[in-house]
Every structure is written in structure tokens, then in C-alpha cells.
Amino acid sequence: MSRLQIHQFPTRSDNYGVLVHDASSGATAAIDAPDAEELLAALHEKGWALSHILTTHHHHDHTAGNTIVKRMTGCTIVGPAKEAGSIPGIDVKVKDGETVEIGSAKARVIETPGHTKGHVSYYFPDDDLVFVGDTLFSVGCGKLLEGDAKTMWSSLKKLAALPPVTKLYCGHEYTNNNCRFALTVEPENDTLRARAAEVAALAEEGEPALPTTIAQELATNPFLRPSSPAIQKRLDMEGRELWEVFGEIRRRKDRF
Ligand code: ZN
Ligand code: FE
């Protein structure tokens, strides 16, 4: 049973950086390294020494800080084996089901391809935390840049099966826009309407709508709800395979 401290901070134009700190050992992991300077500043502010970067996927806005941060801190860079060739400074190449230790905390690697071919998420079962990069967003999901709808749907199903209390941290804050789209797909969802109002108020205050939880996403996120009769009816896809319904929601979001 570990008790991790979390620090989430906005970085680049619309990314989030997250630090995970195990006070008992002093170990600290950054989820991705979008920007070296801003990551080092966050570490300085907290007084934490970086031991690891946990890379979710190879995109530049998640790895741009790797080389400088590794040089400045001597941290170990962990990342998906399937994208190792395009992750600067990678030391430890991980695959589905493997465990990464951050001091006394344990993260399980879950392969969640779709946004990129080798994208991974990091799940800390003892802490009810999951870091999903650009696979799932609050009320949204990542674009299918290197995978098809069937692949992404099977990744989302793995995340949806985590305990509902699990706190979910994402790579970006797109929640307000995601809610506007979601309401076009499932306007009769009262929980979604309440979430949209909450998120709009938070956006007005400049406050993050993240982290979210698996429970909240199951109730509001159209990309996790292709089995919803209301959604299937609206898309005229009653009785179709769930990955096909998911794919149609993704296509509509791309055009939104
Ligand atoms: Zn990305
Ligand atoms: Fe990204």
C-alpha cells in the first residue's frame, strides 16, 4: 500500500505534466516530459528529485523534454518497447503486464494502442491511479493517428474495466470542447449535462477539469458508451458492433 503525492501542472499550450512522489523512498516519476524547463521548475517548486520519466507515447509534445531532463537529473526513462526507436533517451523498454517500481509504488504497464501504435498507460493499483496519456481524455479520447477503431476500442475497454474509483490523469485538457461534442451525441444524458455545466464553470475560472475517475467517464464519456441505446439510436446504428459505433463517434468528433 503506497501513498503517492501527485502534482499536476499545465505545460506547453494544452498539455499537462504530472509528478508522482513516493515520500517513503523519495522516488519521483514524471508522466511524460512535454517541456524540460517547465518540468524542472515544477520539481524545484515541490523540492522533489526526479528518478523516472514514464513515457506514454513517442509524440513530441510528450517527449520534447527527455534529453535535457535526463542530463540535468540523471533520471531513468521508461517507455513503450514498441516505440523505443522514437523515444529520446529511453533506458527501460516496457511491455503489457510488466511492472515498474517507483520507490515503494508499483505501476503496471497497460498497452493501449490506437492514438499511436505502441502507446502505453501506467496503472498504480495500490493507489487507484492511472495515467493514460492521449488514449482517453475526460469526455473524449485520442485521435486515431496510428490505429483503427477496433484497436482503440479494445484499448478503451481495458481502461473501462479498471475499478470505478480509479483516478484518471490525461495528457491534455480538452474537456470543455469534449463536453460540447458529447452533448450532440447524447443530449439526454443528465450526468453528462451536469458535468458539462461543471466543466464550463471550471474553464471560466481557469481551473483544470482533471483528474477525472473511471466512474465519471463511464457515465459521461460517449467514447466509452457505444452500448448506450440513446447513442445507438441517434447514430442509426442499433445492434451494431460496439467498436463500429465507437468508430462512428470518433469520425463525428473529427469533423466537429
Ligand atoms: Zn499524442
Ligand atoms: Fe499529446
For residue 47, give the CATH number of its domain. Answer: 3.60.15.10
Contact 34, 18 (CB under 8 A): no
Percent of the chain with pLDDT over 70: 99
Give yes or no: residues 142 and 186 share one domain: no
Note if 59 is an active site residue.
yes
**Domain-ending residue, one of 147, 169, 191:** 169
Distances, alpha carbon 44 to alpha carbons 39, 49, 50, 72, 214, in Å: 9, 8, 10, 12, 31
Give me the domain span that covers residue 248.
Answer: 175-255
Whether 254 sits among the annotated catalytic residues: the reply is no
pTM of this prediction exceeds 0.95: yes
Q: Which of 152, 169, 186 is the last residue of a domain?
A: 169
Whether residues 210 and 136 fall in one domain:
no
Q: What is the pLDDT of residue 3?
A: 87
Dump pLDDT digits (tens) for 218-249.
999 999 999 999 999 999 999 999 999 999 99
* 136 contacts 221 by C-beta, under 8 angstroms: yes
Measured from the alpha carbon of residue 171, the closest ligand is 2
Residue after which a domain boundary falls, among 136, 169, 202: 169
Mean pLDDT of 124-148: 98
Query: Are 36 and 97 members of one domain?
Result: yes
Give residue 2 CA to ligand 2 midpoint distance, Å. 28
144 and 23 together in one domain = yes
**pLDDT for position 215:** 98
Asked if 134 is an active-site residue, the reply is yes
Tally DSSP H helices, then E strands, for the chain. 9, 14
